[in-house]
A and B are shown apart, each in its own frame.
Chain A
Amino acid sequence: MARPPRSALESPATVAAASDTPVLELRGITKRFPGVLANDHVDLDLRRGEVHALLGENGAGKSTLMNILYGLYRPDEGEILLNGKPAEFTSPHGAIAAGIGMVHQHFMLIPVMTVAENIVLASEPRRNGVLLDTAAAERRVRELAEQFSFHIDPHARVQDITVGQQQRVEILKALYRRADILILDEPTAVLTPQEAVELFEILRRLVADGMSVIFISHKLNEVLDIADRITVLRRGRKIDTIPREGATEAGLARMMVGREVLFRVDKQATTPGGRLLQVDDLHVRDERGLETVRGVSFDVRAGEIVAIAGVDGNGQTQLIDAITGLQKPDSGHVVVAGEDLTGGSAHSFLEHGVGHIPEDRHRRGLVLEFTLAENLVLHDYAKEPYATRGFLHPKRIVEAARGLLKEFDVRGGTPETRASALSGGNQQKVVVAREVARDPKVLIAAQPTRGLDVGAIEFVHRRLVEERNEGRAVLLVSLELDEVLSLADRILVIYEGQIVGQYDPSVSEEELGIAMTGGAREAVA
């Protein structure tokens, strides 16, 4: 049997008695990065057994605050109290020992190692005192996973499992270390709605056992669903802490952004033009040789947004790779603006006007070591006006970047900032800026708003609709039903590598949900 979280061992009486003193208190935390005041005298208290949501725009300083709490960053000012006693963490080691677990916004997993190895790393079960007990590690991971009804193979390599599963591995890491304070930095950004619901079930159980949770999310409905109290940060400062009772999405959005936010984009009807993207009977394999796209055909016309909805891992990744030239399909055709580009290089797809907002910004969207200006000209650096006869014009590149950063409201960086220094949401905006700005004929947007705050989502959605209105073909691949329903002109549902249905945007969420889980094999349209 895996041991339950530490706090569950305490008697209910102690839990009740302790619930008045906050388990954790942050006082006046201040953190400066070169040129950025990331946290400005932030106070926060966490009660035992509560879910405390932390809200704020991209770059508001949420991750920074949590990294300070976890011992990854040192605060410039302020103090941390654990159960009323001052605590100082110089490394995550101390934080872990004090019962703090953290699931990071960008996963901290080692791709080439197995799930079990990732989970037990640094507190490994041993055999004969010195040897790594792999069998015990896998057994304990399996037990822990079963206890929370996660379906996960401890023996699989992390690089071979889906992001949703990686998320669970991260949570298991914290549970394995028997954390009683759990920090979740945007845990649902990469989850499907169903997976998010499952995660909340788990959180409720943990909290009932006396665990305390800090929960960061940009999805306000989730926050209203799970949180007991909500703290809002804006530009490094704490705006307020409020109870869930009486809070509304609109109210929270206003607190975060400082203005009213529209949750639905206005969309005029357009008449779609010619077919800019045609996909014909496409078959693609993943890196393990399994056929994950099995005969997909569809087209996208100028001036329409076609959304591909589906549960993560149903072939979306390979489909996108094949229609952006990142992977060669086994058979079938990809035709862009009348030209058959099947099997061509990513470069040729770019040249023919395919823009691509990739789903994983760290692996495919950005070169983290490069500056923002360099990242913004990643496709077109060799062309006028950025280069003439093989020589770059750094000044022009920087100037163009400055304009884009302003236009797309990227915060916390200048053109010379390295991409790795931006907050997650702002990194995403850089990718969107680059792809939209080069005026593609076909824009393929995979999870374009992953990790964005409500204000930024509104902005990106507006941009996508504008692109459509200007006669571009937009293919949206998204796990967010809200996003799909509010943007798409047509919705295709992908299930096990096949398009199993085509729907109008007026379809109900339920009907889509059923189709996405294989409930509707026949096209309804």
Chain B
Amino acid sequence: MNTFAASMDRFRFGPRQVARLGIVLGILAFFFALPPIEARAYVVPLLVGLLGAACGIWAVTRGVGRIAWGAVTVGVLGIVLGVLATRSSGTHLHIVVSWGALVASTLVWATPLTFAAIGGMFSERSGVVNIGLEGMMLSGAFFGVLGADKFNSWAMGILVAAVAGGCFALLHAFFAIQLRADQIVGGTAINFLALGVTGYFFIQVYGDVGSPGNLPRIPNVNIPGLKHVTFLGDAFGQLNLMVWLSFVLLIVAHVVMFKTPIGLRIRAVGEHPRAAETVGISVYLIRYASVTLSGVLAALGGAYLAVGFVGSFNENMTAGRGFIALAALIFGNWRPFGAFAAALLFGASTALSFRLATYSDSAAVLFQALPYVLTLIAVAGVIGRSVPPASVGRPYSKQ
């Protein structure tokens, strides 16, 4: 009886649902102006977007926070972008917006972020800030290339990358947990260390020649049946193995974190380590394991970038993606699906920034700053604050 009432409650069409509808409308406002529908009258996006924003405002007055403001923002954005789209020439639109390719390219850019962000989630949920993700990712990229080259197998490349990332993370864990050093300083040190180590060995091993051109790459997964389906074929027909793995990781990470005893313990340690210890959980063990795992996952993201996507290594090739992953983690409120959604958003902004160059170079650059702006908004709490684990960043000392 009770559960029935509860489940009914869940499907009730309340203010939250209206706010969600508002977000959908806002997206549609833009969507209608794009191929294949391509409405050319500016009233179409204007009306649909206004409706979406109105839904949001109504929900705001009903006390819905984050989602409602999201609906207002998306509604207004939908109007602006939609109206802009109706003004621009049809050929330009078709170059920028070919949906299938755009989705595929979004996934390509989102994947390294997803790996690193989910890695970061494990570390931070256990209470250790990990801004060393960047360095761990970079080490994964280099050692992935090294392993794939020396063993002549991409699988070994992934393995070597994972081990390297794990080692860097273990170092971070030792400083943060055992020595109770400041975690931000420790993480920064890891980043510089990784930059130095990968740079040194890169020159040592490959000299001026650069990494070999015939590197065994992580293969793409060709789905034969999908090839000729218009949208799906372009979007999902030829994705890299690691992209699919990131989907698997996403689900596994969610289950582990929120549906298993291990996850409960990790979260307990990140919230209130002393309480966790009093029920017999080893705070150090959980934190060591979580931080190490975060390094392994971040390194997998790096390995995908180098061995899967680019097919070579060059110095500092991650170029700040570890930090963006951290931003995705925060934007996604320390949850796997949230982080993934943020990674997709950031991936899409990267993908778009390449194509937007058709319109204007400066707009393209501006687009690349989007992840940071959005993250600032998320942590500042304008649209409902991201709440970190209560004890994140605080060293724990046993007596």
Instruction: Please tell me if the beta carbons of B278 and A126 are within 8 angstroms of each other in the complex.
Output: no
**Chain A residue nearest to B279 in the complex (CB):** A122
Instruction: Please tell me if the beta carbons of B399 and A73 are within 8 angstroms of each other in the complex.
Output: yes
Q: How far is the CB of A296 from chain B (nearest CB, A)?
A: 25
* Residues of chain B lying within 8 A (CB to CB) of residue A97: 280
Mask of A115-132 contacts with B, CB within 8 angstroms, 1/0: 001000111101000111
Q: How far is the CB of B256 from chain A (nearest CB, A)?
A: 9
Instruction: Please tell me if the beta carbons of B277 and A110 are within 8 angstroms of each other in the complex.
Output: no
**Chain A residue nearest to B280 in the complex (CB):** A93
Contact of B282 among A70, A73, A91 (CB under 8 A): A91
Q: How far is the CB of B328 from chain A (nearest CB, A)?
A: 22
Contact of B260 among A92, A122, A123, A132 (CB under 8 A): A132
* Residues of chain B lying within 8 A (CB to CB) of residue A113: 264, 267-268, 271
Instruction: Please tell me if the beta carbons of B279 and A173 are within 8 angstroms of each other in the complex.
Output: yes
**Given A110-B272, A112-B390, A113-B271, does the pair A91, B260 have CB atoms closer than 8 Å?**
no
Q: In this assembly, does B274 line the interface, its C-beta being within 8 Å of a C-beta of chain A?
A: yes
Q: In this assembly, does B263 line the interface, its C-beta being within 8 Å of a C-beta of chain A?
A: yes
**Given A91-B282, A108-B274, A113-B271, does the pair A132, B399 have CB atoms closer than 8 Å?**
no
For the complex, what is the distance from the CA of A123 to the CA of B261, rounded to whole Å? 8
Contact of A121 among B260, B265, B282 (CB under 8 A): B265
Q: In this assembly, does B341 line the interface, its C-beta being within 8 Å of a C-beta of chain A?
A: no
Contact of A132 among B264, B268, B274, B279 (CB under 8 A): B264
Q: How far is the CB of A417 from chain B (nearest CB, A)?
A: 15
* Residues of chain A lying within 8 A (CB to CB) of residue B275: 108-110
Q: In this assembly, does A481 line the interface, its C-beta being within 8 Å of a C-beta of chain B?
A: no
For the complex, what is the distance from the CA of A95 to the CA of B175, rounded to whole Å? 29
Instruction: Please tell me if the beta carbons of A121 and B271 are within 8 angstroms of each other in the complex.
Output: no
**Given A113-B267, A113-B268, A113-B271, does the pair A96, B279 have CB atoms closer than 8 Å?**
yes
Mask of B365-399 contacts with A, CB within 8 angstroms, 1/0: 00000000000000000000000001000000011
Mask of B256-296 contacts with A, CB within 8 angstroms, 1/0: 00011101110110011011111111100000000000000
For the complex, what is the distance from the CA of A122 to the CA of B271, rounded to whole Å? 15
For the complex, what is the distance from the CA of A67 to the CA of B274, rounded to whole Å? 12
Q: How far is the CB of B386 from chain A (nearest CB, A)?
A: 14
**Chain A residue nearest to B6 in the complex (CB):** A155
**Given A72-B399, A110-B271, A132-B264, does the pair A121, B259 have CB atoms closer than 8 Å?**
no
* Residues of chain B lying within 8 A (CB to CB) of residue A130: 260
Instruction: Please tell me if the beta carbons of A121 and B390 are within 8 angstroms of each other in the complex.
Output: no
For the complex, what is the distance from the CA of A97 to the CA of B275, rounded to whole Å? 17
Interface size grouping (class) on chain A: 20 to 34
Mask of B106-131 contacts with A, CB within 8 angstroms, 1/0: 00000000000000000000000000
Instruction: Please tell me if the beta carbons of A131 and B271 are within 8 angstroms of each other in the complex.
Output: no
Q: How far is the CB of A78 from chain B (nearest CB, A)?
A: 16
Instruction: Please tell me if the beta carbons of B280 and A92 are within 8 angstroms of each other in the complex.
Output: yes
Q: In this assembly, does A53 line the interface, its C-beta being within 8 Å of a C-beta of chain B?
A: no
State the majority secondary structure of interface residues on B: helix
For the complex, what is the distance from the CA of A74 to the CA of B398, rounded to whole Å? 10
Q: In this assembly, does A438 line the interface, its C-beta being within 8 Å of a C-beta of chain B?
A: no
Instruction: Please tell me if the beta carbons of B261 and A126 are within 8 angstroms of each other in the complex.
Output: yes
For the complex, what is the distance from the CA of A324 to the CA of B272, rounded to whole Å? 29
Q: How far is the CB of A260 from chain B (nearest CB, A)?
A: 36
For the complex, what is the distance from the CA of A132 to the CA of B280, rounded to whole Å? 18
In the complex, which residues 255-310 of chain A have their Cβ closer than 8 Å to any Cβ of chain B? none
Q: How far is the CB of B69 from chain A (nearest CB, A)?
A: 19
Q: In this assembly, does A352 line the interface, its C-beta being within 8 Å of a C-beta of chain B?
A: no
Q: In this assembly, does A102 line the interface, its C-beta being within 8 Å of a C-beta of chain B?
A: yes
Q: In this assembly, does A139 line the interface, its C-beta being within 8 Å of a C-beta of chain B?
A: no
**Given A110-B268, A112-B271, A113-B268, does the pair A121, B276 have CB atoms closer than 8 Å?**
yes
* Residues of chain B lying within 8 A (CB to CB) of residue A6: none
Mask of A208-220 contacts with B, CB within 8 angstroms, 1/0: 0000000000000
Mask of A424-438 contacts with B, CB within 8 angstroms, 1/0: 000000000000000
Q: In this assembly, does A104 line the interface, its C-beta being within 8 Å of a C-beta of chain B?
A: yes
* Residues of chain B lying within 8 A (CB to CB) of residue A131: 255, 259-260
Interface size grouping (class) on chain B: 20 to 34
* Residues of chain B lying within 8 A (CB to CB) of residue A117: 264
Instruction: Please tell me if the beta carbons of B264 and A124 are within 8 angstroms of each other in the complex.
Output: yes
For the complex, what is the distance from the CA of A417 to the CA of B265, rounded to whole Å? 32
For the complex, what is the distance from the CA of A175 to the CA of B398, rounded to whole Å? 25
* Residues of chain A lying within 8 A (CB to CB) of residue B276: 110, 121-122
* Residues of chain B lying within 8 A (CB to CB) of residue A72: 277-278, 398-399
**Given A108-B274, A108-B275, A112-B390, does the pair A91, B264 have CB atoms closer than 8 Å?**
no
For the complex, what is the distance from the CA of A93 to the CA of B286, rounded to whole Å? 14
Instruction: Please tell me if the beta carbons of B278 and A132 are within 8 angstroms of each other in the complex.
Output: no
**Given A110-B272, A121-B276, A132-B259, does the pair A93, B264 have CB atoms closer than 8 Å?**
no
**Chain B residue nearest to A118 in the complex (CB):** B275
* Residues of chain B lying within 8 A (CB to CB) of residue A92: 277-280
* Residues of chain A lying within 8 A (CB to CB) of residue B260: 130-132
For the complex, what is the distance from the CA of A109 to the CA of B278, rounded to whole Å? 10
**Chain B residue nearest to A31 in the complex (CB):** B399
* Residues of chain B lying within 8 A (CB to CB) of residue A108: 272, 274-275, 278-279
* Residues of chain A lying within 8 A (CB to CB) of residue B279: 92, 96, 108, 121-123, 173, 177
Q: Output the residue of B279, B390, B399 with the most chain A CB within 10 A.
A: B279
Q: How far is the CB of B392 from chain A (nearest CB, A)?
A: 13
* Residues of chain A lying within 8 A (CB to CB) of residue B255: 131
For the complex, what is the distance from the CA of A130 to the CA of B278, rounded to whole Å? 23
In the complex, which residues 205-226 of chain B have their Cβ closer than 8 Å to any Cβ of chain A? none
Q: How far is the CB of A368 from chain B (nearest CB, A)?
A: 11
**Chain B residue nearest to A33 in the complex (CB):** B399
Contact of A91 among B259, B274, B280 (CB under 8 A): B280
* Residues of chain B lying within 8 A (CB to CB) of residue A112: 271, 390
Q: Output the residue of A97, A113, A121 with the most chain B CB within 10 A.
A: A121
Instruction: Please tell me if the beta carbons of A121 and B272 are within 8 angstroms of each other in the complex.
Output: no
For the complex, what is the distance from the CA of A516 to the CA of B68, rounded to whole Å? 43
* Residues of chain B lying within 8 A (CB to CB) of residue A96: 279-280
Instruction: Please tell me if the beta carbons of A104 and B271 are within 8 angstroms of each other in the complex.
Output: no
For the complex, what is the distance from the CA of A431 to the CA of B399, rounded to whole Å? 25
Contact of B265 among A122, A126, A173 (CB under 8 A): A122
* Residues of chain A lying within 8 A (CB to CB) of residue B390: 111-112
* Residues of chain A lying within 8 A (CB to CB) of residue B261: 122, 124, 126, 132
* Residues of chain B lying within 8 A (CB to CB) of residue A121: 264-265, 268, 276, 279, 281
For the complex, what is the distance from the CA of A102 to the CA of B261, rounded to whole Å? 22
**Given A121-B265, A131-B260, does the pair A91, B399 have CB atoms closer than 8 Å?**
no
Q: Output the residue of B264, B268, B390 with the most chain A CB within 10 A.
A: B264
* Residues of chain B lying within 8 A (CB to CB) of residue A73: 399
For the complex, what is the distance from the CA of A126 to the CA of B262, rounded to whole Å? 11
For the complex, what is the distance from the CA of A130 to the CA of B263, rounded to whole Å? 11
* Residues of chain B lying within 8 A (CB to CB) of residue A110: 267-268, 271-272, 275-276
Q: How far is the CB of B121 from chain A (nearest CB, A)?
A: 16
**Chain A residue nearest to B3 in the complex (CB):** A135
For the complex, what is the distance from the CA of A96 to the CA of B277, rounded to whole Å? 11
For the complex, what is the distance from the CA of A402 to the CA of B250, rounded to whole Å? 56
Q: How far is the CB of A325 from chain B (nearest CB, A)?
A: 22
Q: Output the residue of B259, B260, B272, B275 with the most chain A CB within 10 A.
A: B275
For the complex, what is the distance from the CA of A343 to the CA of B290, rounded to whole Å? 45
Instruction: Please tell me if the beta carbons of B280 and A122 are within 8 angstroms of each other in the complex.
Output: yes
For the complex, what is the distance from the CA of A93 to the CA of B280, rounded to whole Å? 4
For the complex, what is the distance from the CA of A91 to the CA of B286, rounded to whole Å? 15
Given contacts A93-B282, A112-B390, A113-B267, 17 further A-B contacts (CB under 8 A): A72-B398, A73-B399, A91-B277, A92-B279, A93-B280, A97-B280, A108-B274, A108-B275, A110-B272, A112-B271, A113-B264, A121-B281, A122-B276, A122-B279, A124-B261, A130-B260, A132-B259
Can you identify 7 A-B contacts, CB atoms within 8 angstroms? A70-B278, A109-B275, A110-B272, A113-B271, A122-B279, A122-B280, A132-B259
The 4 closest A-B pairs by CB, nearest first: A93-B280, A108-B275, A124-B261, A122-B279
